[in-house]
């Protein structure tokens, strides 16, 4: 079956069956200078939920005030991120909450207010909306409104997000756009095990309320050699994963792996050298790295699973054209999910897959 | 079904003994388990009537739900159904009992364990199974899937736990306002019972005397968390505080029907009511959950043997000479045939065409083409509702 694309290009494309096929390339992993890893750490092969589990183990060990709670975290969590932690640290520190997201968020904010470290899990990003009021109106504004007297800086939310192949409307959403709109919060999204551990530990140590959106499809699929010691990834810093002079590709989470494959395909089929950047931090985001890259290449594509209108790509596009206008050779292009609820049956058409991204590369390069 | 099970003991009141043992007579039966009442002087009837025609309907409906859920499970294992699929097996008496009491003007809204409800509220077996397989004959044209089925007077079908209850309150208010005398049943589970919005609804319902019946289907587990570990008060029928409540044996379809009839009457004349149906789900929370990690196998085996709603009803009908073995078997065969045919068609049915990617997002055409799509002229499509 073919999907015709924009400008009568002669690509004939197959529909991708397996959402995780692109991850075959990713298992090699990479270490980035933005990950503050000490030189003599041991490495262990871990998938993303192992890495997150390891991170929380280290956090609970190092910080005696740290608490971990959420729906079903006690037995290990529906994605196995908190396996063995209750046995190790006890029921007082690792415990289940009832099914009440608004309550969980408010409760977590209260814990953090006292200075204790709160690691709260919202089971799926799709369920975060009852907590939205607490996060936006309480967590993000506490320090500001009390003149610095109180804050919930020791608060971190962990939230599985993103498409998984069959999640349909309520197990696939990427809500980073809603939270990016709220000063006072940090929002980060890991692309794999090393980053997941580093970012989580960084957020736990950071003195601001943080949300880590963990792409659930990577929990098992992404495997890397992860340092076993305590390390943090730099917050607010984007990672350049592949250097290139022709075109900048920006993504986060699962989409980063798609873009790396697109960069390979661009080089192979189109002779175009793409620079691939994982934004990592959505709020605040790394303007310097992005703009330096755009000034170099003059062309940029942003890709994300969340819908097109008012997706985070819109913020990037607006800012890039503001700061790099004269260096741009083409408009900033966004390849995103469509403006519909995340579909039950149309998922392969909805996602910004490698074919759509590659078509965008051609379009922007030939502009 | 276990061999040698005693026929449930039933007291037939004196005035009935003079009735002949003809199968056409309406039997009067006494329910086995009492209701427990909260803030109510008197509760539902313990003596219930059951005639042949009704018995056939109830039996057929319960067997159909059981078979549909088995079909869903089969299709899921064949990977023709993807995503999340929550089976109602074991809880059939709850749905059939409530439906038995409902009148055409009554409405219902529930959570995500709704394949059976869709069927009872008028969606065909094909409409249910094709919705699961994401095909055009599905009741939502395949757009919703397992958790989002809808029908006449049936508002779904929600994925977010507890979200449906405020909606139910709104439906009840609107029906009251339009004066149609209808009552809304808002169903939720023991897990959802701890959501804040449930309590907000209890308050609104009592304050405004809404014609709503809240129904907590307590199957003792919110996913893998047992009720005691999630709630400090597991007497869910009391958690409405001033809202009157009734505990009902959810495995007995006639008890559920009696309670639902009482509830409809109460909601129309005196105000909202909360029913707690004590029931059991045989399988895990969803097809991703084996259901054995948090409860012993014996627990459900025990329920299957002693309290299975279909078996109990079958024995009741036979024991009281309401339906014969042959009649029951005939119903079994009919249902098997109906569901098998639907399975076959659901597997081969058409997929929704690509121009429906942008359909039913809005009421109509609000702007040009779908943004950023090239090569396809995707104008927004509004589809007509259908109850397949």
**Per-residue pLDDT tens for B118-168?**
999 999 999 999 999 999 999 999 999 999 999 989 998 898 999 999 999
Q: Where in chain B is the domain with CATH 3.40.50.970?
A: 5-348
The CATH number assigned to the domain with range B5-348 reads 3.40.50.970
pLDDT band at A38 (very low <50, low <70, confident <90, very high): low
- Chain A residues whose CB is inside 8 A of the B358 CB are 338-340
Q: Is the CB of A170 less than 8 angstroms away from the CB of B222?
A: no
How far, in whole angstroms, is CA B216 from its chain's centroid? 11
Helix axes A354-365, A254-265, angle to 10 degrees: 50
Mean pLDDT score across all residues of chain A: 90
- Chain A residues whose CB is inside 8 A of the B231 CB are 98
Among the listed ranges A156-170, A301-315, B346-360, which one has the minimum average pLDDT value? B346-360
- Chain A residues whose CB is inside 8 A of the B352 CB are 345-346
Cα dist. B176→B107, B139, B168, B169, B171 in Å? 12, 28, 12, 11, 9
Q: Is the CB of B196 less than 8 angstroms away from the CB of A3?
A: no
- Chain A residues whose CB is inside 8 A of the B165 CB are none
pTM recorded for the entire structure: 0.88
Number of other residues whose CB lies within 10 A of the CB of residue B180: 14
Residue A166 has pLDDT above 80, yes or no: yes
| Catalytic status, residue A171 | yes
Residue A296 has pLDDT above 70, yes or no: yes
Pairing assessment for the beta strands A35-36 and A232-233 based on DSSP bridges: antiparallel
- Nearest Cβ partner of A344 from B143, B191, B294? B143
**Closest Cα to residue A106, out of A136, A82, A79, A80?**
A136
Average pLDDT on B228-256 reads 97
User: Of these residues, A71, A121, A138, A171, which one is catalytic?
Assistant: A171
Q: Is the CB of A168 less than 8 angstroms away from the CB of B83?
A: yes
> Going from the N-terminus, what domains does chain A have, and what CATH number goes with each?
5-227 (3.40.50.970), 239-365 (3.40.50.920)
Which helix (H) or strand (E) segment holds residue B165: the answer is helix B164-177
**Closest Cα to residue A94, out of A127, A111, A70, A115?**
A70
CA separation for the pair B229, B231 (Å, rounded) = 6
B339 token code pair: 């569901």
Q: Is A11 on the interface with B (CB under 8 A)?
A: no
pLDDT at B374: 77
- Chain A residues whose CB is inside 8 A of the B142 CB are 344-345
**Tally of residues, chain B:** 388
Residue B12 has pLDDT above 70, yes or no: no
Q: Is A102 on the interface with B (CB under 8 A)?
A: yes
Average pLDDT on B7-23 reads 46
Pairing assessment for the beta strands B273-278 and B245-249 based on DSSP bridges: parallel
Residue A262 has pLDDT above 50, yes or no: yes
Residue A228 near residue A21 (C-beta atoms within 8 A): no
Strand partners, B215: B187, B275
B132 token code pair: 């699961």
pLDDT more than 90, % of chain A: 88
pLDDT at A31: 40
Chain A interface, best mutation among B160, B188, B231, by max A CB count within 10 A: B160
Strand partners, A296: none
| Catalytic status, residue A329 | no
Backbone angles phi, psi at B246, to 5 degrees: -135, 130
CA separation for the pair A136, A61 (Å, rounded) = 30
Q: What is the ipTM for the molecules in this complex?
A: 0.83
User: Of these residues, A71, A101, A121, A138, which one is catalytic?
Assistant: A101
Average pLDDT on A96-120 reads 95
Q: Is A103 on the interface with B (CB under 8 A)?
A: yes
Q: Is the CB of A170 less than 8 angstroms away from the CB of B373?
A: no
Residue A18 has pLDDT above 80, yes or no: no
pLDDT band at B15 (very low <50, low <70, confident <90, very high): very low
Q: Is A167 on the interface with B (CB under 8 A)?
A: yes
Chain A interface, best mutation among B288, B372, B382, by max A CB count within 10 A: B372
Residue B75 near residue B348 (C-beta atoms within 8 A): no
pLDDT at B164: 96
Average pLDDT on B6-29 reads 56
Among the listed ranges B95-109, B232-246, B369-383, which one has the minimum average pLDDT value? B369-383
A12 token code pair: 């004939």
Question: Would you call A210 helix, strand, or coil by DSSP?
Answer: strand
Among the listed ranges A102-106, A107-111, B170-174, B365-369, which one has the minimum average pLDDT value? B365-369
CA separation for the pair A356, B179 (Å, rounded) = 53
Contacts of A293 (CB under 8 A, 6+ apart): A240, A248, A275, A277, A300
pLDDT band at B14 (very low <50, low <70, confident <90, very high): very low
């Amino acid at each position: 079956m073919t999907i015709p694309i924009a400008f009568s290009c002669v690509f004939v494309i197959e529909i991708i069956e397996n959402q995780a096929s692109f991850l075959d390339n990713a298992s090699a992993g990479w270490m980035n200078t933005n990950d503050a890893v000490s030189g003599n750490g041991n490495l262990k092969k871990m998938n993303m939920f192992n890495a997150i589990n390891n991170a929380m183990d280290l956090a609970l060990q190092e910080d005696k005030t740290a608490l971990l709670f959420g729906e079903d975290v006690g037995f290990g969590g529906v994605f196995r991120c908190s396996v063995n932690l209750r046995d190790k640290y006890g029921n007082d520190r690792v415990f289940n909450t009832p099914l009440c997201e608004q309550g969980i968020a408010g409760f977590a904010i209260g814990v953090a207010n006292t200075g204790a470290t709160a690691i709260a899990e919202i089971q799926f990003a799709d369920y975060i909306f009852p907590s939205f009021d607490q996060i936006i109106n309480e967590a993000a504004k506490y320090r500001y409104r009390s003149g610095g007297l109180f804050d919930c800086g020791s608060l971190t939310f962990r939230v599985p997000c993103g498409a998984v192949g069959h999640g349909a409307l309520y197990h696939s959403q990427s809500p980073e756009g809603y939270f990016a709109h709220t000063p006072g919060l940090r929002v980060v999204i890991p692309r794999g095990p090393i980053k997941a551990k580093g970012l989580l530990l960084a957020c736990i140590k950071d003195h601001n309320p943080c949300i880590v959106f963990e792409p659930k499809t990577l929990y098992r699929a992404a495997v890397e050699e992860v340092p076993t010691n305590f390390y943090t990834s730099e917050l607010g810093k984007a990672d350049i994963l592949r250097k290139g002079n022709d075109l900048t590709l920006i993504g986060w989470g699962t989409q980063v792996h798609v873009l790396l494959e697109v960069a390979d395909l661009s080089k192979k089929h189109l002779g175009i050298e793409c620079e691939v950047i994982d934004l990592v931090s959505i709020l605040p985001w790394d303007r310097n790295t992005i703009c330096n890259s755009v000034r170099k290449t003059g062309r940029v594509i942003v890709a994300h699973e969340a819908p097109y209108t008012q997706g985070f790509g819109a913020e990037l596009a607006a800012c890039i054209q503001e700061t790099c206008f004269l260096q741009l050779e083409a408009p900033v292009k966004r390849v995103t999910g469509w403006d519909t609820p995340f579909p039950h049956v149309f998922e392969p058409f909805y996602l910004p897959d490698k074919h759509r991204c590659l078509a965008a590369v051609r379009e922007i390069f030939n502009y | 079904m276990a061999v040698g099970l005693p026929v449930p003991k039933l007291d037939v009141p004196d005035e009935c003994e003079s009735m002949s043992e003809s199968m056409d007579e309406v039997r009067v039966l006494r329910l086995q388990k009492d209701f427990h009442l909260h803030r109510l002087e008197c509760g539902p009837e313990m003596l219930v009537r059951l005639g042949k025609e009704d018995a056939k309907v109830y039996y057929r409906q319960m067997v159909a739900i059981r078979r549909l859920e088995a079909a869903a499970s089969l299709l899921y294992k064949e990977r023709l159904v993807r995503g999340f699929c929550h089976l109602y097996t074991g809880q059939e008496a709850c749905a059939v009992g409530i439906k038995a009491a409902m009148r055409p003007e009554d409405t219902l809204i529930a959570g995500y364990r709704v394949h059976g409800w869709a069927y009872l509220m008028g969606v065909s077996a094909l409409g249910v199974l094709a919705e699961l397989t994401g095909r055009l004959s599905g009741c939502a044209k395949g757009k919703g899937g397992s958790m989002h089925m809808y029908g006449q007077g049936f508002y779904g079908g929600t994925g977010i736990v507890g979200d449906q209850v405020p909606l139910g309150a709104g439906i009840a208010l609107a029906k009251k306002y339009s004066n149609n005398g209808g009552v809304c049943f808002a169903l939720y589970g023991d897990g959802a019972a701890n959501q804040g919005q449930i309590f907000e609804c209890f308050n609104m319902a009592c304050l405004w005397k809404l014609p709503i019946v809240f129904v907590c289907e307590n199957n003792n587990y919110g996913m893998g968390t047992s009720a005691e570990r999630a709630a400090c008060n597991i007497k869910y029928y009391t958690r409405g505080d001033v809202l009157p409540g009734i505990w009902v044996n959810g495995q007995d379809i006639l008890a559920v029907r009696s309670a639902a009839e009482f509830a409809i009457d109460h909601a129309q004349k005196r105000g909202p009511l909360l029913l707690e149906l004590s029931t059991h789900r045989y399988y895990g929370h969803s097809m991703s959950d084996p259901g054995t990690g948090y409860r012993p196998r014996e627990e459900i085996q025990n329920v299957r043997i002693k309290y299975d709603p279909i078996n109990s009803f079958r024995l009741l009908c036979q024991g009281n000479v309401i339906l014969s073995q042959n009649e029951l078997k005939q119903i079994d065969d009919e249902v098997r045939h109906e569901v098998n045919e639907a399975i076959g068609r659901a597997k081969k049915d058409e997929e929704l065409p690509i121009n429906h990617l942008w359909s039913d997002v809005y009421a109509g055409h609000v702007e040009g083409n779908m943004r950023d799509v090239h090569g396809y002229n995707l104008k927004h499509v509004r589809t007509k509702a259908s109850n397949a």
